[in-house]
Amino acid sequence: MSLHDEIREQPERLYHLLRHQRQTAEKIAAEIHAREVNYVFLAARGTSDNAGRYANYLWGAHNRLPIALATPSLFTYYAQPPRLEKALVMGVSQSGQSPDIVSVLEEGRRQGCLTLAVTNAPNSPLAQAADLVFDIQAGPEKAVAATKTYTTELMALAMISAALRGAQDDWQALEKVPDWIATLLTQDADIERMAQRYRYMGQCVVLGRGFNYATAFEWALKLKELTYIIAEPYSSADFQHGPIAMIEGGFPVLAVAPQGKVFHSMFEMLARLREQQQAELVVISDDERVLALAQSAMRLPAGIPEWLTPLVAIVAGQLFACHLTRAKGYDTEKPRSITKVTETH
């Protein structure tokens, strides 16, 4: 199965996850409530780290749970782990193999914390180190660049959030995600044609904010992994504090700007970049005003709640990266210098 096949498989995998793992999410939520967890201490690397960025916004906004992103080197090289009282110590890893992520959960268990592994490998070292395991059930992912394991990680985190809130409306919204992604996938051929415009692109910035701060980082990562472009992700707020100075006529700015709480600030930023600095805009959005600003636009289906837009928007980013890789003449299945499983210490 190719990278492109795995991108297109995502509606099916998410539908399967919702059907088979709701009880797991509810069990995890019950344990979190029972242990009176005050905050989440989250360890992850790479794509899974971007899933953690999503959780940082989602669990903070919907569940009032602050998330601290772990620094695994404190647990390995420095051997000086912080105190973790009243924390849920969570590791997010597709393979569950990385020793530094495992070490964080092992220390959490040693300190008497509740531990949780979110992984595609329920028999992995990470899962064995955890009290609770959420198997994301993405199936074998053969491509080196992670796609379906990323969206299933996001779905797992969203399901746990919904279970923590006990809100039926959340579950009803989650049930629509596979169909929203299937609708977006109908733009596949259009995105393939669009990517040809950028086959000589060597650098860009990728902007997002709020829930889609994670999407900006993950889209940029896919471009780095597959196309070898220098793709720098930013919050649109941070971008104003210096980096905006590098934008001049024709500089590519990729942005994720769906309707929601942060939309107005994103719209103002993109309008400034287009009108004052003549940037080249590639935009993922469901808003006609932003889509009209862009030289290249990928349209999100209407009606997606802001908290779920990262699950859908990244699929457009994945398709763009996949097709741009081919347009540049590179192999989507064999990106240079990286392997499927990366074990860091």
Tokens representing 286? 């469901």
Hey, what amino acid is at 157? L
Catalytic residue selected from 86, 142, 261, 340: 340
Do 1 and 12 contact (CB within 8 A), yes or no? no
86 catalytic, yes or no?
no
Distance CA(3)–CA(277), nearest Å, equals 35
Give me the phi and psi of 296, to 5 degrees please.
-135, 125
321, 291, 298, 317: which is closest to 201 by C-alpha? 321
Distance CA(224)–CA(335), nearest Å, equals 10
Give pairs for 298-306: CB < 8 Å, separation 24+: 298/184, 298/187, 298/191, 298/194, 299/187, 300/180, 300/184, 300/258, 301/180, 301/183, 301/184, 304/176, 304/180, 304/258, 305/173, 306/210, 306/211, 306/258, 306/259, 306/260, 306/261
Do 300 and 184 contact (CB within 8 A), yes or no? yes
Q: Which residues are catalytic?
A: 340
